[in-house]
Structure 1
Amino acid sequence: MHSIQDDAGTVYGGLGHLLLEFYQSKQLPIPEKLLSIQEVERFDFSLWRDLLIQLQQKLQTPALGLEIANFVQPRHLGIMAYLVLSCETLGEALMRYHDYHRLVYDGSPLEVRVENDVLSIAWAEIPFNLMTQLTDEVAMALMLKILRSLMAIDDIHLHEVHFKYPANKYINLYEQYFQCKVRFNQSQSIIFLHVSELAKPLRQGDQTLQKLLKQQAEALLEKLPNTSQADQRIQQAILAGLQKNMFQIEHIAQQLHWSVRQLQRHLQKQGKTYQQRMQEIRFMLAQQYLKDENLSLHEISLLLGYSEQSAFQRAFKQWSSETPQQWRSNYLENKTQEKTLDHPIEENLNPQYQI
């Protein structure tokens, strides 16, 4: 039988990092429970709720969730944020946020509806005992903060924001943050915006995503030093396509301003199909991602365009005859051995630190 805690789900470990950085900015004593989750991939929503309430009791700050959200960076939301970073319009970013929201909080889905040219994003119900104004306002403010940071020219103009909790005397703080009418005592916590907002462009060339793509591209080019300019363009198009989960041959051909047949003929001259070329790139990317211990196998699966981790694991075993876990373990072991060989004198000078 599931408990209330089981039904509430879990949150991404990066939210624990976010809260730790907020504590440090305020120079507050850090709770032991918060320190204990700094190395975990996910933790219980009930613990997230308790940590937020504990912080609120310490500070007695109105609209605390909005203040916490001002500290958010893509790394705090994990791979979902990087997928959002790769989008070209607000509408596409919201679609990615909706599709991958469970990577940040898997307790309840986002409900998106369109009525009379107004789009609503509602936070579905969670067990009553775990509902708080603070958890809702953090969730809503985090999403808005990330999206606003990506806008190319104009800001996001919200229509209204609803909270299901009783009104307080600090409504002006909420309306300043959301820059729209904020209503309390509503049936659900919802953000409303006009459908016309969805066409607004996001800022291109985000440095975080650009760095990631650049590292991937350089790794690919190092392995293929004799590739032509056309091959480099194909690689870049597939890289970007995987980031956006739009890597079908039709989409890649469109990005290159080629027909599908032209792309197929180019690859045939090299004795390859499009599927084979994409899998080569996926394999090289997978190796790059596995070197990063902060990325889980689930996150790597999504980065490579797989809907299920098991599909990625099967593919990797075919590519390398090893599972992703085995490949990562071997890589980390070799890396440790190389470090030991590189610094034998330092270890001898500091015997008290040897294990």
Structure 2
Amino acid sequence: MQRIKDYTGSIYGGLAQLLYDFYQAQQLPVPEKLQQVQHQERFDYILWRDLLTELEQQLQRPALGLEIAALVQPKHLGIIAYIALSCDNLGEALQRYHDFHRLVYDGSPLQVEVQGNYLSIRWADLPPTMTTQLTNEIAIALMVEFLKHFMEFQDICLHEVHFQNPAPRHVALYEQYFHCKVRFSQEKTQVLMPLQELSKPFYQGDQTLQHLLLQQAKALLEKLPNSTQIDHRLQQAILTGLQRNMYQIEHIAQQLNLSVRQLQRHLQQQGTTYQQRIQEVRCLLAEQYLKDPHLSLQEIALLLGYSEQSAFQRAFKQWTQHTPQQWRQNNLINLSSF
């Protein structure tokens, strides 16, 4: 594989908070460089690599990346945590992780392909100066921890984990963490997972995110003058459809076991249209997402099904007479307690 030259990525700001949380858990003084990026939406990958290298030199502990990743929470992952809630199984979640992982960890390109009876999830080759064992193991461990928040870990069966880096001491720590064979000095840094694992359903254990969706659905229903069972199901279908980028009326009608004509007629009887209902859902979701200070406007636009941030900004101003930035600024009190 041809190496990527001059590749410089960026890291989601939530991972700066993750590293900050690790320093606090270890009762270590937080470096000034890490403090400076605590409230940034993104920061340079090179800084992330350097911060990790300095921490590794300070602690000199094996499997440090696994230890750091073990502290991850949905708030550290941002958009992926929101999107994952709408997934039905492991395969779909991995697909969404593949689609959006660069919004969280843009350190090395992620590639997913079938190799025989296994799914290979690997990170593309980068110049040696751009990657370390620690950055590689955190990249893999973050993906595993991402899945742990939505499935029982003992139900996830990995075949093998490969690292390009030479074997460190205490290889057993890695095998205990991943519950599989871990090989070093390999051609690629990758995770091999049996294909049958992809159909395993989610254990949706993150009550915070579930509660968020329930709140959104309830608030939408309260705004409707004549709520029916169809309305309730419609709101839920649109909520999850937006997260999956599958919110076209044909798809939503199919989810409700209705024809497009039947759905349009139902909405017409309420004095509204499908497009108006979509905008109602988007407006409510936008306000919820803007309360999360770690989500950038670009990420919120994606969560709402917009391909361009500018389209979201124009729509939000039509809904509220404020720009998203103004709305967020006017709600700083609420944000501080989110």
Q: TM-score, normalised by structure 1?
A: 0.86
The aligned counterpart of 1:282 is 282
Q: Does 1:260 align with 2:226?
A: no
CA contact (8 A) 2:162 2:182 kept: yes
Cα distance in 1 between the residues matched to 2:102 and 2:140: 14
Secondary structure at the aligned position of 1:112 is classed as strand
The aligned counterpart of 2:8 is 8
Cα distance in 1 between the residues matched to 2:325 and 2:25: 37
Unpaired segments ≥5 residues, structure 2: none
Q: Which deviates further from its counterpart, 261-270 or 7-16?
A: 261-270
The aligned counterpart of 1:80 is 80
The aligned counterpart of 1:349 is none
Change in CA separation of 1:323 and 1:256 when aligned onto 2, cut-off 3 Å: same
The alignment covers a number of residue pairs equal to 331
| Code of the aligned partner of 2:132 | T
Unpaired segments ≥5 residues, structure 1: 337-355
CA contact (8 A) 2:41 2:295 kept: no
In the TM superposition, what whole-angstrom CA distance separates every residue of 1:202-257 from its partner, at most 9, and x where no partner exists? 01463122111122223323433543332222112211222333222233223323
Cα distance in 2 between the residues matched to 1:279 and 1:38: 33
In the TM superposition, what whole-angstrom CA distance separates every residue of 1:300-325 from its partner, at most 9, and x where no partner exists? 11221223212212333444454323
Bigger Rg, which one? 1
Matches within 5 A, 1:113-152: 113-151=113-151
Cα distance in 1 between the residues matched to 2:5 and 2:310: 27
CA-CA distance at 1:73 after TM superposition: 0.7
CA contact (8 A) 1:5 1:46 kept: no
Cα distance in 1 between the residues matched to 2:75 and 2:283: 24
Identity of aligned residues (%): 65
| Code of the aligned partner of 1:332 | N
In the TM superposition, what whole-angstrom CA distance separates every residue of 1:90-115 from its partner, at most 9, and x where no partner exists? 00000000000111122432111112
The aligned counterpart of 2:199 is 199
The aligned counterpart of 1:175 is 175
CA contact (8 A) 2:14 2:294 kept: no
| Code of the aligned partner of 1:267 | L
CA-CA distance at 1:152 after TM superposition: 5.4
The aligned counterpart of 1:101 is 101
Q: Which deviates further from its counterpart, 278-287 or 72-81?
A: 278-287
Q: After the TM superposition, which segments of 4 or more aligned residues of structure 1 sit over 4 Å from their partners?
A: none
Cα distance in 2 between the residues matched to 1:277 and 1:249: 11
| Code of the aligned partner of 2:162 | H
CA contact (8 A) 2:85 2:210 kept: no
Change in CA separation of 1:294 and 1:168 when aligned onto 2, cut-off 3 Å: closer
Cα distance in 2 between the residues matched to 1:205 and 1:176: 23
Q: TM-score, normalised by structure 2?
A: 0.90
The aligned counterpart of 2:65 is 65
Secondary structure at the aligned position of 2:7 is classed as helix
Change in CA separation of 1:237 and 1:292 when aligned onto 2, cut-off 3 Å: same
The aligned counterpart of 2:331 is 332
Cα distance in 2 between the residues matched to 1:291 and 1:26: 30
| Code of the aligned partner of 2:189 | S
Change in CA separation of 1:256 and 1:16 when aligned onto 2, cut-off 3 Å: same
Secondary structure at the aligned position of 2:111 is classed as strand
Cα distance in 1 between the residues matched to 2:217 and 2:82: 17
- For the aligned residue pairs, the C-alpha RMSD in angstroms reads 2.3
| Code of the aligned partner of 1:234 | L
Cα distance in 1 between the residues matched to 2:257 and 2:210: 22
The aligned counterpart of 1:17 is 17
CA contact (8 A) 1:8 1:126 kept: no
The aligned counterpart of 2:55 is 55
Cα distance in 1 between the residues matched to 2:322 and 2:22: 41
| Code of the aligned partner of 1:253 | A
Change in CA separation of 1:152 and 1:119 when aligned onto 2, cut-off 3 Å: same
Q: Does 1:242 align with 2:242?
A: yes
Change in CA separation of 1:5 and 1:119 when aligned onto 2, cut-off 3 Å: closer
Cα distance in 2 between the residues matched to 1:128 and 1:227: 59
Cα distance in 2 between the residues matched to 1:263 and 1:223: 19
Change in CA separation of 1:154 and 1:250 when aligned onto 2, cut-off 3 Å: farther
Q: Which deviates further from its counterpart, 30-39 or 307-316?
A: 307-316
CA contact (8 A) 1:89 1:200 kept: yes
Q: Does 1:219 align with 2:204?
A: no
Cα distance in 2 between the residues matched to 1:266 and 1:31: 59
Cα distance in 1 between the residues matched to 2:226 and 2:205: 27
Cα distance in 1 between the residues matched to 2:10 and 2:200: 32
